[in-house]
Amino acid sequence: MTYKNFTLDIDADGAALVTWDMPGKSMNVFTLEVMDEIEAILAAVVTDEKVKGVVFASGKSAFSGGADLTMIEGMFSMLEEAKAADPTAAAQKLFDAAGRMSGLWRKIETCGKPWVAAINGTCMGGATELAMSCHARVASNAKSVKIALPEVKVGIFPGAGGTQRLPRLINTQDALQIMTTGSDLTASRAKALGLVNEVVDPDKLIEAAKTLIKNGVDPVAPWDKKGFKAPGGTIWSPQGVQLFSAANAILRRETHMNYPGAEAIVKCVYEGLQLPFDLALKVELRYFTQILNNVSARSMVRSLFVSMQELGKGARRPAGVPATTFSKIGVVGAGFMGASIAYVTARAGIPVVLIDRDQTAADKGKAHSEELIKGAIAKGKSTKEEGEKLLSLITATSDYSQIADADLVIEAVFEDRTVKKAVIEQVEAVLPESSIFASNTSTLPITGLAENSKRPDQFIGVHFFSPVEKMLLVEVILGEKTGDKALAAALDYVAAIRKTPIVVNDTRGFYVNRCVFRYINEAYDMLIEGVPAVMIENIAKAAGMPVGPLSLNDEVAVDLSQKIMKASIADLGEASVKPEHMTLIDKMVNDLDRRGRKNGRGFYDYPAKPAKKSLWPGLKDFYPQKKAEEVDVKTIKDRLLATIALEAARTMEEGVVTDPREADVGSILGFGFAPYTGGTLSYIDGMGVKAFVALCEKLAASYGDHFKPTLLLLDMAAKGESFYSRFNPKAVKAAA
């Protein structure tokens, strides 16, 4: 029999080599078709007397990326439709569909013949679960081997036996840690833990797996034998009791119980280890079905996997524009941002010319890359040769003629219209007509800057976030005259440096900063009401934000807030900024010189390391303080998240953001908006627009008109719409 995704070769010793190599895909993933074929292969090898055992290998450079999460997303949709007709039958259908993989892996495990997984590269999620249901695992010692159960990162958990086999193979504490963090294991770490039996050179992998079969791998899993004991001991041993008390405390500290997937892992392990294996699998599957029914899981899978992948692959790229290949990129302005932009560009293998006003300033910019490389080598993340190669790609200069053949130039000079105008003119004097000019401005409208350009259709905003090396998001800003060629080139560039783009129409603050300043402004309101700063910060984190709003304000600089507020007043009038906010920030900056982390004093104090930052006690004297019991924690959470989500809804209403996927992904990657919600608009959709409107009305009554729901939201609530139904990105594409 032939298979579409697999080949099957049986050697003279009876070892059946199953090689997984999906046609037309760069990565093997589990689809329904793949599972059907594995089932057919299983039946074939079990009945074939010649076969003594099976080696399960990959024909690609990676082993497998795990389940195709679009399949899981499909399951969510199926559930929604089925629920409407018969909720009980829908739950059963979901239980059966979700259990397909778990059941199949169990069949492999109990088929009577030994299976050995040969792990040659990345092995994720469902693939690690499959490998664990094999009777032994051999991994190559190649650097590319990463073994993980990363499901928790997208809101779900290893529901195909992962939570049961891992703590039966390795000690319980490590198993919990691996699954609740979703972290990668190298081959040697996996071996040390007992997850992998052997680690060998890449070219010896298949041979080693076959040798294991020849030498007689036991075809019965240890947990299917009488008297099996988990390596970490029983739940009710003194060490077990200690472990689970600590595990629950850590889970609470790390997740604030916002992530049902992480919680389910601890429950599955705790309950499962007390049960016979098949029953334990059933318990796991019940929890898995419950999680798939959870709105948080659905939103996380959509935003953190499906949408992120779609945007990364150019969902917003205009069709028909040929792909841009970058043979040289110019970066003008070698300061804080420009130096980092040059680094990430060279890291992607693209030659960069880094220009500043004089050679010394340009060299200083390149020195930033040297520092980063030194750090990476010291941590073992890079080699001397890789570092030298990267540095050789960066030319630091003050000579504009060096960008005469650049395909793209990104300016990151001072945030000053006059300086930018001069730079645009200087660059365009040498730049070929076909090349693209991009500005990294964070506040100046692209349409206005493009007025200085001879080719406004080839002028675009490419807005990076700091620290550029770490932040995965880039906002691509369209000016009024920006054309498709510039958009395509900007998106090709963002893809080349392996970041995720969102495409935003020109507006003050674009998308991310508009939302961020709402978050910070709400904290100003709370301070003024007398909510203790420590409560604002801690409750923000409990609501799922990575940093509190005051801490964030210190990072972006308090005087930058002051500058932005003054600019708003100048451009939009006095009413655009609350006078109490201006008074607070003027006092911080003008009277107290508390500008944020950069001068070691802001809402926090920043003592010399190793001491940690702490909230500045003087803040307490600004406003009469409320007692902790007078502050309603739920209301603080609601205010902080709702004010941001409402701003995101406004950007959709104004047509600044046009695709809900971009609002969601942009909010998570740009400022860490409570990831368990799936992002700003999924937060609204998740509770339902009607409920969100009711929440906003309630908040507006007590905390001000800025919470009043917008016309769009009222309309959507009346019609029973969601952002993903009204602005369905896939329907738009299909109609186009």
Residue closer to ligand NAD by CB (options 417, 626) is: 417
Q: Given its phi and psi angles, is residue 185 left (phi above 0), alpha (psi -120 to 50 degrees) or beta? A: beta
Q: What sections of 530-657 are H helices per DSSP?
A: 533-542, 549-556, 558-572, 579-586, 633-653
CA distance 353 to 393: 8
Residue closer to ligand NAD by CB (options 295, 409) is: 409
Residue closer to ligand NAD by CB (options 41, 449) is: 449
Report phi then psi at 606, rounded to 5: -120, 85
Q: In this chain, which residue has its C-beta nearest to ligand NAD? A: 335
Q: Which tokens sit at 521?
A: 């402004």
Q: Are 510 and 504 contacting, i.e. CB atoms less than 8 angstroms apart?
A: yes
CA distance 38 to 674: 38
Q: Which residues have a Cβ under 8 Å from the Cβ of 688 and sit 6 or more positions away?
A: 722
As measured in angstroms, the least distance from the Cβ of 414 to ligand NAD is 5
As measured in angstroms, the least distance from the Cβ of 334 to ligand NAD is 5
> Which letter does DSSP use for residue 620 in this model?
G
As measured in angstroms, the least distance from the Cβ of 431 to ligand NAD is 14
CA distance 319 to 325: 16
Binding residues for ligand NAD, rule: CB under 6 A, are 332-338, 355-357, 361, 412-415, 419, 422-423, 440-442, 464, 466
Q: Comparing C-alpha atoms, which of 389, 370, 347 is closest to residue 498?
A: 347
Q: Are 157 and 264 contacting, i.e. CB atoms less than 8 angstroms apart?
A: yes
CA distance 329 to 353: 6
As measured in angstroms, the least distance from the Cβ of 577 to ligand NAD is 20
CA distance 348 to 333: 20
CA distance 93 to 82: 9
Catalytic residue among 135, 463, 581, 706: 463
Residue closer to ligand NAD by CB (options 181, 443) is: 443
As measured in angstroms, the least distance from the Cβ of 407 to ligand NAD is 20
Q: Which residues have a Cβ under 8 Å from the Cβ of 561 and sit 6 or more positions away?
A: 517, 520, 553, 585
Residue closer to ligand NAD by CB (options 165, 366) is: 366
As measured in angstroms, the least distance from the Cβ of 332 to ligand NAD is 5
As measured in angstroms, the least distance from the Cβ of 403 to ligand NAD is 12
Residue closer to ligand NAD by CB (options 397, 651) is: 397
CA distance 394 to 273: 55
Sign of CA dihedral 333, 334, 336, 339: positive
As measured in angstroms, the least distance from the Cβ of 281 to ligand NAD is 49
Q: Are 703 and 525 contacting, i.e. CB atoms less than 8 angstroms apart?
A: yes
Q: Which residues have a Cβ under 8 Å from the Cβ of 332 and sit 6 or more positions away?
A: 338, 355, 356, 403, 409, 410, 411, 412, 413, 423, 427
Residue closer to ligand NAD by CB (options 111, 419) is: 419
As measured in angstroms, the least distance from the Cβ of 465 to ligand NAD is 6
Catalytic residue flag (residue 463): yes
As measured in angstroms, the least distance from the Cβ of 341 to ligand NAD is 9
CA distance 392 to 342: 12
As measured in angstroms, the least distance from the Cβ of 348 to ligand NAD is 19
> CA 681, 682, 684 angle in degrees (round to 5)?
65
Residue closer to ligand NAD by CB (options 221, 403) is: 403
Residue closer to ligand NAD by CB (options 419, 592) is: 419
> Which letter does DSSP use for residue 223 in this model?
G
Q: Are 355 and 334 contacting, i.e. CB atoms less than 8 angstroms apart?
A: yes
Q: Where are the beta strands (DSSP E) in 322-425?
A: 329-332, 352-355, 394-397, 408-411
> What are the b/e assignments for 360-397, b being 16+ CB within 10 Å?
ebbbbbbebbeebbeebeeeeebeeeebeebeebbbbb
DSSP-based three-state secondary structure for 586? helix
Residue closer to ligand NAD by CB (options 66, 365) is: 365
Residue closer to ligand NAD by CB (options 168, 420) is: 420
Q: Which residues have a Cβ under 8 Å from the Cβ of 363 and sit 6 or more positions away?
A: 396
- Catalytic residue positions, numbered: 463
